[in-house]
A and B are shown apart, each in its own frame.
Chain A
């Protein structure tokens, strides 16, 4: 069971907007630690998608955006494309147990 909770799956039709939530607690997201998002295409290594809650690395389309509020964070994808079908993971830092990094359980995005 992951420290950061994500919905197991979300889906949307091409062109639509979807959001993926990442819910934490007062020892991680709620403590002010940044949230980062990764995209994992089938059979490949994860790729950094969003860092520092809402920043996109060079090369990531602006269809992808991130936000954070309280003990939760969200990843939004607009103008959904077939190539966006992948697993998405959030990541943050948790101050419990001397501090450690944690990932969410992952969300499978299906483009209908």
Chain B
């Protein structure tokens, strides 16, 4: 059974850097075709894809946020970390990580709400 869980701060101040960790079980990030993605959803708004890291360490980023995002993986710990710099109140959202088989986000974590406020 595949499960994912996001963890990180619930509140960050403007200009700070957000670090979120996705801890997963039930699959290996060394398996061909497998990846972990991050998607966010501002309150009452649509889903927005942020980043994706594949088994071969191929990393993809949203063009509009690329300069602020870094995604890394620790295969031995079954974790994927997303950092987002220069946080702004518009970045307030629920952040999800999801298991990806190529481009399909087939299993999602429960999400973690992050509020950006001074």
| Partner-B contacts on A (CB < 8 A) | 2, 33-34, 36, 38, 45-48, 51-52, 57, 89, 91, 93, 97-106
Contacts and interface: CB of A to CB of B under 8 A. Distances in A.
B103 A104 contact: no
22 contacts: A33-B103, A34-B103, A36-B104, A38-B47, A38-B105, A45-B96, A45-B111, A46-B39, A46-B96, A46-B105, A48-B107, A51-B104, A57-B106, A89-B46, A91-B49, A100-B60, A100-B63, A101-B37, A101-B103, A103-B47, A103-B49, A105-B46
B108 interface: yes
Contacts of B105: 36, 38, 46, 48, 91
Given A36-B104, A100-B62, 14 more contacts: A36-B105, A45-B96, A45-B109, A46-B96, A46-B105, A89-B46, A97-B63, A98-B63, A100-B60, A101-B37, A101-B52, A103-B39, A103-B49, A104-B46
Given A36-B104, A45-B109, A47-B108, A89 B47 contact: yes
Interface in B25-50: 37, 39, 46-49
Contacts of A99: 60
A48 B62 CA distance: 21
B110 interface: yes
Count chain B CB atoms within 10 A of each CB in A46, A97, A98, A104 and give the residue with the most. A46
Contacts of A102: 49
A51 B107 CA distance: 12
Given A2-B46, A89-B46, A103-B46, A46 B108 contact: yes
Contacts of A57: 106
Closest 7 CB pairs of A and B: A97-B63, A45-B108, A103-B47, A101-B49, A106-B46, A48-B106, A105-B46
